[in-house]
Structure 1
């Protein structure tokens, strides 16, 4: 409480995590409140801040030649804007009751407590690293941070044109397969599932499988990795499955990520079934008025199924940060949820999805119809009219759009944005057929592939009841 004529003491915001969500929150809060009103201290255990982790495969593959091109804002730039960003400093304990965090300087080992009035948790996600024999051998790499990318490039520089094994065939797995092909490596991808890209239905994943093999990538499905084999020098030499051994000069883990919420869990903060922090629409941690969380460490509401999901994407993290910073800074904003849109590519093959897969719809208890069409991205007579496959799910009886998956070549993936908008607007497939989309032969046929799929879905809904 202030005495008349005296200014109120400034508040302190502490941010744990110096990448997308954390620094977006800090920057937004700083724009709303100056240093005299709000002190901002941020902790980051790595060497870099505010960078694009999504760009790492393209840096490794050589499409992006300058590492610094992936850095949106350096620690020095944040400090110039009045944010006390402390690099190579790891938060080791959250004392939510006492309103303080303990941090360790990774250079000196010194530890200290820092009190806060408001706390932002943006600890991101950690790569899945199964407890296999040899998993920590030199030459085995995760790809989550710029430091990881540097380490991988060092290994690639010492084994040019060698043999690479990628374990996992999700987004990171297929993107890293492309990066390694671009580096001149022979690439084998080992996948536990029936087809690559488990974010797609298996029939669409099969299209990705065929295309990857056409690019010279050896794709092995149903492969359960049992151990990493090493040579006399201790470095990786092969990956063993239950059936075979695959020679490797480098191994890349593309198994996926989990929310990094060990600190939050130890502090007693609420976690969801996927291990992510639970927040309200303002990104405030449930049950804690002065604690917010965002980015890959949280679960978000799926607007289609109505369930909480963990979807680690930079687009969400930056939006979370903006919402958090607005609320911390005295404004008001909300993050209503997502429809699960994601795009990727492997060489010239484009892959996209939004909304629910068939198994998601079954899990949500929805009755639905599923249709698949093949169409071209341009007028059939126009040069470069490559085919694409579109799969669409619609709810029975109502015709509500539930999900779309696309696999194709040039100009295929971004068509998923049409479906993402339709999902957000809760449109039916019948209403989608009337969408006024842009048309000219170089860009689309008269009936865009999305609309062709919608028309087929309308017929399926009507005949299926």
Structure 2
């Protein structure tokens, strides 16, 4: 029997994708007379698409509210007691309670729970650089961040932007700034942009970005951010050069926001994310679940925990958590590591393992790269596409695929994601019955051309 007159209390910490999906799903299964749901969110918004922020900044998405999947009012109408601008500052696991602070007034209070969901998300990596907190330097994690950046862009005296980092956020923000009419320089510490690709595929992205008029500076660390007499950012400095900047966007990735969990003694993995079981329960804790950007997930190809902060996983985690917290049963088996992105009309896709991932876990592999086209070569609009495929030596099991091309490259990676999940060999893939007509693909789909070449190589080895 719980202490709330026979009704249990579910407390959710964090009101974005994982947290509010969990709350909504638990509510579908249990009415308010059985389950009270209280959700704390320190920001102004719930259930928003962080992934959409670059497109709002660039103007492809006109309104901020277009990125909100469910408003606070909609959640409250479903009997979820949602408390905005309220930050949880401590988890007392032994006492089954959380301490919450009202951001405006600073007032603190404890709230007890029967079940707890930790969905604290990620925080942008802010480098320990002199000047990193100067006006005009922006991260892009929340809608508040997006609004602040848009305000800076509309007020900027000059039109020079520097993006620090060339992962998904970096390349997407570079495109957004080009769309806003800024001159863009990207400073990247890796040898090529998109370190989630092998460097030979990253080089294709580099070339395309330069073709769009973006200045790419690879293999370079930012040493400090310089400010003018007014205190605002004026340039980004590296060991060798200074790049003038009216605005700076940090796109150097995120880390799991797990300070609360660490202080409470909950189990964290090598990447600093919470460790859960298949039901998304925090390991060793029957009544605590965690999901979204604050957890580590199992990579089904490598068999190792990985940190993959993506909205797709966060929403699935929330569904699983809400089902379990609401008395049902569901599991999240893991990921294969699929991600897509674009920079202007260049599409970038990857799934499974890169060469260095495969080496790290002790897998030997054959790698092949092919050039093909998005449609039959004679059909109007056919554009080139490069597919790289990794297959395990001897067994021929597919290990990873990377695709860079114009139209039609990104969603093709889904074929490979399904093949990885099913543990297909490249030989088996050559027989896949994929959709074909000249407007959609050549008679041999680019993914199958790569699979044929990989199969030959595996047989030859």
Q: TM class by shorter-chain length?
A: over 0.9
The one of 313, 331, 337 equivalent to 1:334 is 331
Alignment map for 1:243-392 (pairs within 5 Å): 243-392=240-389
Give the length in aligned residue pairs. Answer: 460
Alignment map for 1:57-68 (pairs within 5 Å): 57-68=54-65
2:178 maps to 181
1:51 maps to 48
1:436 maps to 433
SS at match of 1:414: coil
1:452 maps to 449
- Name the CA distance, whole Å, in 1 between partners of 2:41 and 2:127: 25
1:160 CA drift (Å): 6.4
Task: Please provide the CA RMSD for this pair.
Answer: 0.9
Provide the TM-score with structure 2 as the length reference.
0.99
Q: Aligned pair 1:35/2:32, yes or no?
A: yes
Structure 1 segments of 4+ aligned residues over 4 angstroms from their partners: none
SS at match of 1:64: coil
- Name the CA distance, whole Å, in 2 between partners of 1:160 and 1:146: 24
SS at match of 2:292: coil
- Name the CA distance, whole Å, in 1 between partners of 2:315 and 2:195: 25
Q: Aligned pair 1:98/2:98, yes or no?
A: no
SS at match of 2:294: coil
Alignment map for 1:143-292 (pairs within 5 Å): 143-159=140-156, 162-292=159-289
SS at match of 2:438: coil
- Name the CA distance, whole Å, in 2 between partners of 1:198 and 1:271: 24
> CA contact under 8 A between 2:163 and 2:248: conserved in structure 1?
yes
> CA contact under 8 A between 2:13 and 2:39: conserved in structure 1?
yes
1:8 CA drift (Å): 6.4
Provide the TM-score with structure 1 as the length reference.
0.98
Q: Cα deviations across residues 198-235 of structure 1 (Å, max 9, x unaligned)?
A: 00000000000000000000000011100000000000
1:161 CA drift (Å): 6.0
- Name the CA distance, whole Å, in 2 between partners of 1:195 and 1:284: 38
- Name the CA distance, whole Å, in 1 between partners of 2:223 and 2:337: 32
Q: Any stretches of 5+ residues in structure 1 without a counterpart?
A: none
- Name the CA distance, whole Å, in 2 between partners of 1:224 and 1:295: 30
Taking a change above 3 Å as real, the CA distance of residues 160 and 457 of structure 1, as seen in their structure-2 partners, is farther
- Name the CA distance, whole Å, in 2 between partners of 1:424 and 1:312: 19
2:66 maps to 69
Q: Aligned pair 1:407/2:404, yes or no?
A: yes
> CA contact under 8 A between 1:161 and 1:186: conserved in structure 2?
no
1:107 CA drift (Å): 1.0
SS at match of 1:446: coil
252-261 or 7-16, larger mean C-alpha shift: 7-16
161-170 or 231-240, larger mean C-alpha shift: 161-170
Q: Any stretches of 5+ residues in structure 2 without a counterpart?
A: none
> CA contact under 8 A between 2:370 and 2:387: conserved in structure 1?
yes
SS at match of 2:261: helix
- Name the CA distance, whole Å, in 1 between partners of 2:140 and 2:167: 13
Q: Cα deviations across residues 359-409 of structure 1 (Å, max 9, x unaligned)?
A: 000001000000000000100000111000000000000000000000000
- Name the CA distance, whole Å, in 1 between partners of 2:272 and 2:200: 29
> CA contact under 8 A between 2:158 and 2:246: conserved in structure 1?
no
- Name the CA distance, whole Å, in 1 between partners of 2:242 and 2:85: 39
- Name the CA distance, whole Å, in 2 between partners of 1:50 and 1:132: 32
- Name the CA distance, whole Å, in 2 between partners of 1:104 and 1:430: 58
- Name the CA distance, whole Å, in 2 between partners of 1:379 and 1:76: 50
